Structure 1
Amino acid sequence: MSSALAKIEDFPPDPVEFFKEILQAAAKGHPEGFMQEMNLATVDDEHGVLNRTVLYRGLTQDNFVFYITHRYTRNFKNLQANPKACITFYMPDVKDNAGNQSSWQVRLIGATAVELPESEMDALWAKENLAAQIRGHICPCGEPINYDELKAKHDQFLEEHKGKLIERPASYTAWKFQPQRWDFLKVGIDQIADRVQYRLQSSGNWESMHVST
Structure 2
Amino acid sequence: MVDLSDIRKEYTQGRLDENKVAEHPVVQFNAWFEQYRGTSPIEPTVMTVASIDADGMPWQRILLLKAFDEHGFVFFTNYESNKGQQLDHNPNASIHFFWMTMERQVQIQGRVEKVSREEAERYFHSRPRESQLGAWASQQSRPLASRSELETRFARLNVEYQDREVPLPDYWGGFRLVPSRIEFWQGGEHRLHDRVEYRRQADGSWKIQRLNP
Q: Report the TM-score when normalising by structure 1.
A: 0.85
Letter paired with 2:68: L
Aligned to 2:178: 178
Residues 112-151 of structure 1 deviation map (CA, whole Å, 9 limit, x = unaligned) = 1111222322112122223321121011112222211221
Q: State whether structure 2 residue 141 is matched by structure 1 residue 142.
A: yes
Distance 2:11 2:143 in 1: 50
CA contact (8 A) 1:90 1:105 kept: yes
Letter in 1 for 2:37: A
DSSP 3-state at the match of 2:101: strand
Taking a change above 3 Å as real, the CA distance of residues 3 and 76 of structure 1, as seen in their structure-2 partners, is closer
Residue identity matched to 2:115: L
Which structure 1 residue ranges, 5 or more long, are not aligned?
95-102
User: Match of 1:13?
Assistant: 23
Alignment of 1:33-44 (within 5 A): 34-44=43-53
- Whether 1:156 and 2:165 are equivalent positions in the alignment is no
Alignment partners' CA distance in 1, 2:150 and 2:56? 27
- 1:51-94 per-residue CA deviation (whole Å, 9 max, x = no partner) reads 1111111215x531012112211111111111111111111113
Structure-1 separation of matches of 2:12 and 2:164: 58
Corresponding residue number in structure 1 for 2:114: 115
Contact 2:49 2:62 in 1 (8 A): yes
Structure 2 residue identity aligned to 1:90: F
Name structure 2 gaps, 5 residues minimum.
1-8
Q: CA 1:5 to 1:139, structure 2 compared with 1: closer, same or farther past 3 Å?
A: closer
Go from structure 1 to structure 2 and tell me whether the alpha carbon gap of 1:134 and 1:5 turns closer, same or farther (over 3 Å shift). Answer: closer
Does the 8 Å CA contact 1:4/1:192 hold for their aligned counterparts? no
1:69-148 equivalence runs, <5 A: 69-94=77-102, 103-109=103-109, 111-145=110-144, 146-148=146-148
Q: SS at 2:185's partner residue?
A: strand
Say if 2:38 is the partner of 1:28: yes
Contact conserved, 1:6 with 1:191, CA < 8 A, in 2? Answer: no
* Overall identity of the aligned pairs, in %: 18
The structure richer in strand per residue is 1
Task: Name the CA shift for 1:210/1:138 in 2 (closer, same or farther; >3 Å).
Answer: same
SS where residue 208 of structure 1 aligns?
Answer: strand
Distance in 1 of aligned mates of 2:87 and 2:78: 12
1-side partners of 2:44 and 2:72: how far apart? 18
For 1:142 and 1:157, locate their aligned partners in 2 and report how far apart those are by CA, in whole Å.
Answer: 20
SS in 1 for 2:195: strand
Give the Cα separation in 2 of the matches to 1:106 and 1:41: 14
CA offset at residue 180 of structure 1?
1.5
Q: Shift of residue 157 of structure 1?
A: 2.2
Deviation at 1:159, TM superposition (A): 3.8
